[in-house]
């Protein structure tokens, strides 16, 4: 694909290239009115087929109508000089492939799964399949919120895109559902299968099926059994089996069902393990489990010493920047009671009460409190982002 800096896209200017693949390249750019930085994807279909360009434009228009925190925000799209362009928000937190390579905790894995399941829930309810779920198409904001991007081969409703029909883009074999690999009709359960493949990769750090060529990978998705997870992750085997069932009828039948099930798993995890967001590999967590007990005991002893000594560093600021060092023993006890109550509300799915209490803990007591942060991010990502921004 030749350089495109001489393309004149109305209301946009192009800067440096930040990514490339196949027929597409992504550039940093700027929208003139309203003035804001953007990422601009440029696609040049082989032969500049006008029908393909028109289909791309329709698909871009479909995504531009989405309004969801876990789906990329599209500002504009169109065709200029036989090039298709799509201007979207900049996501500076890297992609999921990078995070998998660095290693993910179990809680981080489930938070990402919930973000993506919600994104699919939103698009599926509006009649659009993504059809290319993979780690490279899951990007992140700086705060760690996952965002689904690249609906370039999405299909709206029952429309058949010429772009897909001619085979210009057919998705990624490693994440293809059995029915898609066989060329059968697909529905939202195919996207759910692909997300299941991503789930396995987040847990294990490798693809669910590895093979020497595309045909062998596709064959494995159709015929090979679902791999067994290691003993320490076996509690997630039923979830994996349902996500990767060969027969679509045996999978979750909707993204809404999946969101509901994932939240049950999250309630069993401990957000306190996710305080650093340092993406500790699960394999490292296994090696470190034997060292957790002394750390926990030490933490309890330290906490008792703080309470007994009545550490108090000035007046309670009553603002988001307060932390436990600023709280009196009475306030620490009050915060603990609110956390216990919030956890109880969360476990019985009274999410509005839980959200209110976690917000109170973060804004009036300690904005760094790990349990409150972890749960608040699940319950209300927008409010969580505002609180953390004010805190950090």
Closest CA to 163 of 79, 70, 73, 76: 79
CATH architecture group of domain 12-88: 2-Layer Sandwich (3.30)
Residue 275 φ then ψ, to 5° = -75, -25
pLDDT tens sequence across 188-247 = 999 999 999 999 999 999 999 988 888 999 999 999 999 999 999 999 999 999 999 999
Q: Give the DSSP letter string of 296-351.
A: HHHHHHHHHHHHHHT---SS---STT--GGG--HHHHHHHHHHHHHHHHHHHTT-H
pLDDT tens sequence across 61-74 = 878 888 899 999 99
CA distance 249 to 218: 20
The class level of CATH for 96-274 reads: mainly alpha
Residue 26, H or E segment: strand 24-31
CA distance 205 to 43: 31
CA distance 27 to 85: 10
26-30, 119-123, 128-132: which is most confident: 119-123
Q: How confident is the model at residue 281 (pLDDT cuts 50, 70, 90)?
A: very low
Domain with CATH 1.10.510.10 in the chain: 96-274
CA distance 139 to 69: 12
pLDDT at 171: 59
- Are the beta carbons of 56 and 49 closer than 8 angstroms? no
Residue with tokens 């990767």: 244
CA dihedral 105, 111, 114, 120 (to 10 degrees): -90
CA distance 309 to 314: 15
pLDDT mean over 279-283: 42
Mean confidence (pLDDT) of the chain: 79
- Are the beta carbons of 353 and 365 closer than 8 angstroms? no
Mark whether 81 is an active-site residue. Answer: no
pLDDT tens sequence across 296-332 = 333 333 333 333 333 223 333 333 444 555 678 778 8
CA distance 163 to 58: 11
Q: What is the largest CA-CA distance in the chain?
A: 76
pLDDT mean over 330-349: 81
Catalytic residue among 55, 95, 132, 366: 132
Domain with CATH 3.30.200.20 in the chain: 12-88
Q: CB under 8 Å to 104, separation ≥6 — which residues?
A: 112, 202, 279, 281, 282
């Amino acid at each position: 694909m030749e350089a495109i800096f001489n393309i004149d896209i109305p209301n946009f200017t192009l800067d440096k290239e930040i990514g490339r693949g196949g027929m597409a390249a992504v550039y940093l750019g700027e929208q003139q009115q309203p003035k804001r930085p953007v990422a601009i994807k440029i696609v040049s279909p082989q032969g500049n087929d006008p029908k393909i360009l028109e289909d791309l434009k329709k698909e871009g228009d479909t995504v531009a109508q989405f309004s969801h925190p876990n789906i990329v925000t599209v500002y504009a799209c169109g065709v200029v000089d036989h090039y298709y362009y799509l201007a979207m928000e900049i996501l500076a937190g890297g992609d999921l492939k990078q995070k998998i390579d660095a290693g993910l905790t179990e809680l981080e894995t489930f938070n990402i799964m919930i973000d993506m399941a919600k994104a699919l829930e939103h698009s599926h309810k509006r009649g659009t399949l993504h059809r290319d779920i993979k780690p490279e198409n899951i990007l992140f904001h700086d705060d760690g919120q996952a965002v689904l991007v690249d609906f370039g081969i999405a299909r709206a409703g029952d429309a058949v895109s010429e772009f897909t029909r001619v085979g210009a883009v057919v998705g990624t074999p490693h994440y293809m559902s059995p029915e898609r690999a066989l060329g059968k009709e697909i529905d939202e359960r195919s996207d759910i299968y692909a997300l299941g493949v991503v789930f396995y990769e987040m847990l294990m750090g490798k693809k669910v099926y590895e093979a020497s060529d595309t045909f062998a990978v596709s064959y494995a998705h159709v015929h090979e059994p679902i791999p067994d997870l290691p003993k320490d992750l076996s509690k997630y085997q039923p979830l994996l089996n349902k996500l990767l069932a060969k027969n679509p009828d045996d999978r979750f039948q909707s993204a809404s069902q999946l969101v509901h099930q994932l939240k049950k798993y999250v309630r069993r995890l401990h957000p306190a393990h996710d305080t650093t967001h340092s993406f500790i590999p699960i394999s490292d967590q296994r090696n470190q489990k034997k060292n957790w007990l002394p750390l926990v005991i030490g933490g309890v002893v330290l906490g008792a010493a703080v309470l007994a000594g009545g550490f108090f560093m000035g007046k309670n600021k009553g603002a988001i920047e307060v932390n436990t060092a600023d709280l009196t023993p009475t306030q620490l006890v009050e915060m603990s009671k609110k956390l216990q109550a919030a956890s109880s509300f969360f476990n019985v799915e009274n999410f509005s009460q839980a959200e209110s209490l976690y917000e109170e803990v973060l804004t009036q007591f300690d904005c760094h409190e790990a349990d409150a942060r972890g749960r608040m991010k699940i319950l209300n990502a927008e409010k969580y982002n505002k609180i953390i921004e004010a805190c950090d």
